[in-house]
Structure 1
Amino acid sequence: MRILPFVLPALLAAAPALATPAFLPTRDVAITYELDAPGRAAQNYQLNYDAAQELARVENPAQGVYILANLPSGQAQVVVPALHAIVQAPDFSALTQEISTAGGAQFTPLGSGHYAGMACQKYLVLNAQGSGTACITPDGVVLHFAGHDAHGSAEVTALSVAYAPQPAQEFALPDGFSDVTLPPGALQALLQPQ
């Protein structure tokens, strides 16, 4: 499943015209998530989100890389500190657009939920590519997502949520790093959980 672990656009289907909930945070937040996928060890990710600029930083400490995404511009870069490199990720432009629009999703309410000490609204989310459920706070923080598509299935659960202004340097590209362009498929291999 294509997952940008701060959580991921929910998937859509044909549902009556329901109001779409906020599915991106409406205020600055730092969230620790656990990603579970069949056949892989659970991985923890840190998402830092600047709500005003719609900037995200997703980091998996075990991988030693992080992703910087600018949702309005549809751009993302993978920063690889061990190589002193910034990998341009044009393939992510479609994914950032999908995140910004939730893939055109409509959400069907399922009731209330509770994760990471916070209340959320559960939704059924479907589209032509797959299906899932999401539990989202009123201010757009996805606390839980479980779904599947043609690429597989995954579950993402918030372990902690901290609302606080996010420092601008968290979203800045590091100075002195080289730009790298990888051949097709190499970026996906770089980002695969170990």
Structure 2
Amino acid sequence: MRRTLIAALLSLSAVPAVAQDRPALYPTRDVAVTYRVNGGQAQAAGMQSITIAWLAAAQAMRMDMGPAGYMVADHRNQRGFMVMQQARMIMDVPMQQAMQQYGPSENATYRRTGSATVAGHACTVWSYQDRGNSGTACITGDGVMLRAEGTSQGQSGGMEATQVAYGAQDPSRFQRPQGYQSMQMPGGGQMPMGRPPAGAVTK
């Protein structure tokens, strides 16, 4: 499941939950969260866990997928890229596809359904509907998603935080690496999970 598998955090600034009765859609401070994944593309690709780091001041997210590589979503500039470290390739990814790996979009409608404690942190449980996709997400008051599960395009999956580490993130880890070969997805292709896709064009 792409959309619910990996963020419930998409807007140009944190949205106050009280004012619009919806969760904050960005962490308001730097944080790195390790998740256990259940179903979806990540588990299908052999990944049991992923780590997502947020550089709050730049509104940038980095998703580390183990030896396969990582993906960065730059919300401020509305662009994303995936790095395949073993192949030393980099591929630009449309923001919509990049954030499908994380959770519901900023256009989703939300409803509070309860509260929980995940990985030692309190969070509010929200149910959401997002262009035919649906699920639940547990999000802290400062915009950190701790748990999400749902269904998208007939696929079900989820993720749950096992470790939350607040602390300053290195901005260089969110920048494009140098010396990697550029790769372009074929028209209509799906974003790979850390592997060069069949039919990809290098340049």
TM-score, structure 2 normalization: 0.78
Give the counterpart letter for 1:138 in structure 2: G
Structure 1 residue runs of 5 or longer lacking an equivalent are 11-16
CA distance in 1: counterparts of 2:191 and 2:20, whole angstroms? 35
Structure 2 residue runs of 5 or longer lacking an equivalent are 11-18, 196-203
Secondary structure, counterpart of 2:111 in structure 1: strand
Give the counterpart letter for 1:7 in structure 2: A
- CA RMSD, aligned part only? 2.8
The alignment-based identity, stated in percent, is 28
Corresponding position of 1:161: 164
CA distance in 2: counterparts of 1:120 and 1:100, whole angstroms? 16
Corresponding position of 2:26: 24
Corresponding position of 1:93: 95
Secondary structure, counterpart of 1:52 in structure 2: helix
Secondary structure, counterpart of 1:126 in structure 2: strand
Give the counterpart letter for 2:81 in structure 1: Q
- 1:132-185 per-position Cα deviation (integer Å, ceiling 9, x unaligned): 111110000010001102241111101111110100111122221121213246
The answer to whether the aligner puts 1:78 opposite 2:82 as a matched pair is: yes
Q: 1:84 to 1:60 in 2, by over 3 A?
A: same
Check whether the contact 2:50–2:64 (CA below 8 A) recurs between aligned residues.
yes
The correspondence of residues 82-161 of structure 1 with structure 2, limited to 5 A, is 82-89=86-93, 92-95=94-97, 102-161=105-164
The correspondence of residues 1-20 of structure 1 with structure 2, limited to 5 A, is 1-3=1-3, 6-8=6-8, 18-20=20-22
The answer to whether the aligner puts 1:47 opposite 2:56 as a matched pair is: no
Corresponding position of 1:35: 37
Give the counterpart letter for 2:31 in structure 1: V
CA distance in 2: counterparts of 1:68 and 1:81, whole angstroms? 13
CA distance in 2: counterparts of 1:118 and 1:177, whole angstroms? 38
CA distance in 2: counterparts of 1:190 and 1:118, whole angstroms? 29
Give the counterpart letter for 2:33 in structure 1: I
Give the counterpart letter for 2:32 in structure 1: A
TM-score, structure 1 normalization: 0.81
Q: How many residues align?
A: 183
Q: 1:56 to 1:188 in 2, by over 3 A?
A: same
Q: 1:58 to 1:5 in 2, by over 3 A?
A: farther
Check whether the contact 1:120–1:143 (CA below 8 A) recurs between aligned residues.
yes
Structure 1 runs of 4+ with >3 Å offset: 3-6, 38-42, 95-101, 184-187, 189-192
CA distance in 1: counterparts of 2:120 and 2:99, whole angstroms? 30
Q: 1:183 to 1:80 in 2, by over 3 A?
A: same
Secondary structure, counterpart of 1:188 in structure 2: coil
Check whether the contact 2:104–2:130 (CA below 8 A) recurs between aligned residues.
no
